[in-house]
A = this chain, B = another copy of it.
């Protein structure tokens, strides 16, 4: 292992994403041993010293800090991983870029297009490697869907539909804000389900089906006031609890998207479906190791949706894991992204989605929110992604 080039990670944030990214860094060397770049857990940062120290011990970081600026200032850090709330992404990313660090930023890229634009400019000016954690691209079944789409098997695309349904904020007594619930605080999160959930759907959609050119949206805030964790006061809720939109893709297909945290019975039901002239594809995060596929060119009497278990060695990523029929889980999508980032360093290529790719998603999110506010169609200005 001595001949490998270590990429020393400076992790900012110790929440869910801090944990699952740390796991990814730990796991990649075991499952992608041929890679020349290899992650090293160098330093982790969070404001509470006791908890960040415990986190560092638990996950095997060599050091810890309580100020993210100190992490960026360290010479022994090669890459900054941003796992803090959305309102901090721009400031940290720009500082990291200016310090010449690689950056792996949690999604969404930013709260606004304007913030995101500055981040893109910063990393491109600095010429540092950068990626955004839209992890669902790395679900093997979703990567397989991309391969099938790119193969042309679907023919002309007519429809793309996706939803992301949750039910965890129905209780009106749930507070907003603070460490655990910043996603409910518009200042910290920028938006509600649009940035949190729809951003995932949009990233996948534009990766699979090309650019979204205009949108017509509606949003709703079902619970109008919640106590704020930090102030203790009942305050208006600024986020969108639900967001629905339809749209045109550049290829002429119609899109339909919905995200909500008020769909009783669904924990994290991210599904998408693509209907093409010759074939269709469906996927569902609740059964993530499957892809459903309908091929109209099959013999007519025995034609049907195929339930494809994506666990074989000839399917994406699966030669790294166990045996046919045995599943992998949510965390593996992040491990795959670490592996792909390391591989992009081996190859000297970008690791999609880059900040620039993620900015296109940001443009759609912003158009969606603007459309909902104005009750009118909005052009997105989004361009085709790389990757």
Interface residues of chain A, those whose CB is within 8 Å of chain B, are 1, 16, 20, 22-23, 26, 29-30, 33, 54, 57-60, 144, 147-148, 158-159, 161, 165-168, 170, 216, 218, 220, 222, 242, 244-246, 248, 252, 254, 256, 258, 260, 262-269, 275-280, 285-296, 298, 300-309, 311-312, 314-315, 321-332, 375-377
Contacts and interface: CB of A to CB of B under 8 A. Distances in A.
B301 A304 contact: no
B244 A254 contact: yes
Residue among A33, A246, A248, A285 with max Cβ neighbours from chain B (10 Å): A246
A260 B159 contact: yes
A360 to B, nearest CB: 21
The DSSP consensus for interface residues of chain A is mixed
A129 B145 CA distance: 47
A323 B16 contact: yes
Contacts of A323: 16, 267-268
A113 B315 CA distance: 40
A268 B375 contact: no
Contacts of A148: 302
Nearest to A303: B308
Contacts of A312: 267, 300-301
A278 B307 contact: no
B265 A327 contact: no
Given A158-B222, A159-B260, A242-B159, A305 B16 contact: no
20 contacts: A144-B301, A144-B302, A147-B301, A158-B242, A222-B252, A244-B254, A264-B279, A267-B323, A267-B325, A291-B302, A298-B306, A301-B308, A301-B314, A302-B308, A305-B306, A306-B306, A321-B329, A322-B330, A326-B329, A328-B330
A236 to B, nearest CB: 18
Given A309-B286, A325-B266, A260 B330 contact: no
Contact of A269 (B170, B258, B325): B325
Contacts of A29: 58
A260 B254 CA distance: 10
The 10 closest A-B pairs by CB, nearest first: A267-B325, A268-B325, A265-B294, A304-B308, A326-B330, A304-B306, A329-B329, A158-B262, A328-B329, A267-B324
